Amino acid sequence: MPTVPIFMLNNSMKITHVAMTPLVGAPGKVSRVLNLAGFNSTSYCFSDYPKKSNLASKFLADTIVVDQNNKYLNDAFLNDIVTSDIIHIHNAITKKQLDAICAVAPDAKFIYQTHSPQKEGPLFYNHADDLEDLVCAKLVVAQYQPRLYPDYIPVPNLVLDTPQLKKRSENETLKVIFSPTHKRGGRWNNKASKVLDKSLDALSNSKKIELVKIDTPVDPRQLMAMRGLCDVSIDEVVTGAYHQVSLEGLCAGNIVLNSADHLSTTMLASMCDGQYPPFQSVKDYDVLECLLKLADDVELTNKKKIESYDFFTNYLNPLVLIQRYIDVYKAI
Amino acid sequence: MRYFIIDPIDSPNSGITKYSQLLCGLLSIQEGIQPEIIGINGRTIKEFRHYLKEYFSKFVNNHFIIEVPEAYASSVLIPSHFIVHVRLHLSHTLGQYLQNKNYDSVLFEEEKRVISTADFVSSPSLSCTDYTKFFFDINRPFLLHPNPFIFIDNEFLKVEKKGKITVGFVGRWELLKGINYLIDLIEKNPKIDFIVCTTAQDLIPKRKNISYTKSAESVYINSDILIIPSIYETASMVAIEAVAYGCKVIIWDHIGIGELRLNSLYKVPAFNLDHLDLCMHRASDKKTNVSEFNEVYESVSSHIVKNIKSIINNKPDFEINYQLYRKSSILDINLIKKEFNKVAANSSFDRKLRKLKRDPYLFFKDMYLKKTGKTYVNNITEKASVTQASLGTVNKNNKSAKRRAKLFCKLDGDIPISFHDYGEKFNDMRVVSIFNLDFYKKYIYKDILENIYSHDDFWPLRRENMGRGYISQSVLNKYSTTSSVFDNCILQQRAKLENIKDIFLFDIVDEPFISLFTHSNSTSRVNLVITNDSLEFGKDILEKIDSLIIINSHENVEKLDHRYIRKLYSFINTSDLHHYIRKVVQEGLAKPFDILIPIYNGYQRNLKIEELSKKEDLDIVVKISKDNDFYANITNICSANDYYKYLADSAEYIYARESVYFKYKTLCDDIVSKEDSLYFLKFAYADGAYIHVE
């Protein structure tokens, strides 16, 4: 089990994270933990999510939106860029924005990190091709994405919430939370499954489970609080991947159901001292059977909940995981 | 002995159903034969086939005969050790062929198999025998006996009438039944009363001299003459029934029933309306000899029973009974097809009018779709023939076959990148070929395209279905990076590519543009066709495309690194290219049975794999060897490439679905050692295959 490293405070390295959108808070969280580890880091994005998407302003806790009309914010951004040792670009920014950054920070080192698949939105193609001569290291989120970027260095997504464990008491109905953030299709973006919906409805209607289904995006802190009161978190169960929901489920002491394949779980295990996460690997057609088994067995539920909680506290501590990023920063 | 009669239609309007009932009635009074009808009873033909298989499999011995019509091949699953007597009634596919319609080639093969493998085959007429042998290319002896007759005590039935003659017609209101001749005849003879019993009353022309009845019996009783202007019939139950009721019956001389020696049957030269009209007037003067029917009934019934008994005793008598049959010449099958063609062409307006009357909404909807070019498929059999990837049939008379599909794109000058949307219909097999416009203008693809279009038995490559696009060299040169192409092609335009399954790029080797097609979605396959000997292209392109079809004389063909090519075909001459294009499309079509096959090791039967094979969402199975320390290396994994390396090193066996094998054919064919599987795994993972690791 890894121990939390003692960081040297007042580390002189300055890292600025830049992205087009908040990317559901991922760069902001890295930036925040880097600051906790003694680095000087700020996360910027060029625009928030559109208001009609219901995601607007929900992921800005650790990220600043660069407002061209706000002189002070604009100056702060430029000042950070000019004085940065490392500029960490996430997913994609426009050529114009990149040229502007390069013009004011000719000596900074660039790192590119991708969070999204190819051949579907938002990226479609590998944007690092445009930065080929510029970047010193290419990173990829250690989930399913490495298969699409095979020579990139996998790095973990972080969960900054406090781990919690609420055991299920006798005669208490199994509480299941399912919170798909969108209804887009695609090989990797897909989260919908009619079989899953039918299974959950059937179990819910027969009072075997208490279903907490969240169809529209809610504030991440509210969602985490709700998750903490539940026993099971369902990530998507159709693509073979796992997502941030699975990590948050472990943090909330939930049994996590997803369809993560061997590569995805191995990527996470490679971040966790070779330990595989206690995900319940199911496909949509297996969910009914899996939940029925848990619904009828309180002891089993609690055993698995403890496994999730233990795994998170032992291996997914953000102050431990941030070392992956620090190693890259120091290596370039 | 039990004698099962199979009825795959089971409808009161069907000749097969009537035949089954009459035969059952006839055999039930014979000593030692216990006839029994098994009807389809609301099942689909597929379900009925399985039902028959299960039904007969229950019998311990095979001491019974199964008589089954060839149409719809309902006996195709019955185990071969049972004795099957196939009775010809006019197979479904032969009927379609005569009418110049497309037919389902799978059903064709099934009907052929049923006729070829039956223990006995009998036919009601020589023409039916002849056409069946010709169409199915079968050469085996056929028994010949008529269909059983209906028995009527006809002496007292006939209604005495004076003055006007009445002409009857019984049959479905279809071109097959010769309704066009009937309508002409009615128009030509306004003073003759016509009485019609048909399926659709509202379609009968509104004239004073036509009356409609629901009862065929009423037609027989009230008519002096019954006309059967059907373009072809193997036999005719209506003719027999009418004769039994004392009607004089007029038929074309090639109709199967005309081969019988029956004086009440008047034959006129095929499709000659003037002769039909003349014969109708002359026959009205002649007297009906009802006692003749009773004599023929006796001899026909005894001949049928004799033949059935010969089948039961396994001593079939193939001699033709010339006391019953006349020696008659058989009409050339092409003349029947020609007549159908003529009739269908003449009556297209009528058909449209009928459709307008029957369903105005559908009429205008279809008209709109046709005008806007959104209709592509004429009937369902086309799709069936494609999914089975069969050779199918060619409809030479299909006018729409000459129409081209809408242009997919023409990117020239400064116009923004845009595409035609072919819609979601048939998007699982839509093919588009895109050419370099500068080369295209030199006519180098003309013959290649015509050769591709010659596959008009294959839906995706038909002229009216396969899309074409052109990109000029100036446009290709304009974009130097992938992002510049994507920036100039908006999302809505790129979304249209999702409705295309296979894109063939002819001599287009510009990487940014290839990326536009390969990276807009994960469902389209992009295939690069190189016909130019000296056209250069890089390794990065090979990694992006799904297949490479390259001319054998290309200067780099020997140097191609197979580790970076999913699928590679080379052709010697451009005249062969169309075969490879079809092969690539065909290999990518959905497969009804897609099992796991060994790619590396694992050649013994493996129950675990058989179980995993049932999980449809699983593409590849990799078993990690117990002796290997894969899990000890996890902390050393610094990229997905490391993962692939450790996985390939520790693989005990690798299985992949057949569809996956075809997708990575070149990579899979080259797997000899564990190391070779690395490249296959790398591509499969990147393309989104679901890989189960044991």
pLDDT at A157: 97
pLDDT at B159: 53
Closest CB to B634 among A130, A153, A266: A266
Mind listing the pLDDT tens digit for each residue in B221-246?
Answer: 888 889 999 888 888 888 888 888 88
Q: Who contacts B397 (Cβ-Cβ below 8 Å, separation ≥6)?
A: B100, B341
pLDDT(B288) > 80: no
Q: Who contacts B578 (Cβ-Cβ below 8 Å, separation ≥6)?
A: B448, B451, B452, B454, B455, B461
pLDDT at B200: 74
B480 touches chain A (CB under 8 A): no
Distance of CA B511 to the CA centre of its chain: 41
Specify the higher pLDDT residue, A124 or B292.
A124
pLDDT at B389: 38
The DSSP element (H or E) to which B236 belongs, if any, is none
Residues of A in contact with B638 (CB under 8 A): 153-154
Residues of A in contact with B685 (CB under 8 A): 147, 150, 263
pLDDT(B13) > 90: no
Q: Give me the amino acid identity at A330.
A: K
**Confidence tier at B155 by pLDDT (50, 70, 90):** low
Percent of chain B with pLDDT over 70: 91
Q: What is the mean pLDDT of chain B?
A: 85
Distance of CA B115 to the CA centre of its chain: 18
Mind listing the pLDDT tens digit for each residue in B256-281?
Answer: 888 888 877 888 888 888 888 888 88
Residues of A in contact with B692 (CB under 8 A): 261-262
Mind listing the pLDDT tens digit for each residue in B468-487?
Answer: 999 999 999 888 889 989 98
- Give me the mean pLDDT over the B626-651 stretch: 91
Closest CB to A262 among B615, B686, B693: B693
Hey, which of B113-117, B298-302, B689-693 has the most confident mean pLDDT?
A: B689-693
Q: Does the distance separating the beta carbons of B519 and A147 come in below 8 Å?
A: no
Specify the higher pLDDT residue, A63 or B632.
A63
**Confidence tier at B395 by pLDDT (50, 70, 90):** very low
Residue A227, SS3 per DSSP? helix
Closest CB to B519 among A119, A261, A263: A119
- Chain A interface mutation, best of B614, B685, B687, highest count of A Cβ atoms under 10 Å: B685
pLDDT at B272: 86
Q: Does the distance separating the beta carbons of A129 and B481 come in below 8 Å?
A: yes
**Confidence tier at B382 by pLDDT (50, 70, 90):** very low
Tokens read off for B617 = 């969402």
Residues of B in contact with A124 (CB under 8 A): 486, 494, 519-520
pLDDT at B685: 95
What's the gap in Å between the CA of A125 and the closest CA on chain B?
6
Q: How many interface pairs between A and B have CB atoms less than 8 angstroms apart?
A: 86
Closest CB to B617 among A151, A154, A283: A283
Q: Give me the amino acid identity at B339.
A: E
Residue of chain A nearest B519, judged by CA positions: A119
Question: pLDDT below 50 — which residues of chain A?
Answer: 9
- Chain B interface mutation, best of A119, A133, A189, A237, highest count of B Cβ atoms under 10 Å: A119
Residues of B in contact with A188 (CB under 8 A): 688
Phi and psi torsions of B10, nearest 5°: 55, 55
What's the gap in Å between the CA of B546 and the closest CA on chain A?
14
Specify the higher pLDDT residue, B210 or A184.
B210
Name which of B633, B628, B625 is nearest B653 in CA terms: B625
Residue of chain B nearest A93, judged by CA positions: B483
CA distance A181 to A53: 10
Residues of A in contact with B682 (CB under 8 A): 150
A151 touches chain B (CB under 8 A): yes
Percent of chain B with pLDDT over 90: 32
pLDDT(B406) > 60: yes
Cβ neighbours of B41 (radius 10 Å): 10
Predicted interface score ipTM higher than 0.90: yes
Mind listing the pLDDT tens digit for each residue in A281-295?
Answer: 999 999 999 999 999
CA distance B54 to B157: 46
Locate tokens 């390295």: which residue? A13
- Cβ(B597)–Cβ(B575) under 8 Å? no
A95 touches chain B (CB under 8 A): yes
A120 touches chain B (CB under 8 A): yes
pLDDT at B148: 87
pLDDT(B250) > 70: yes
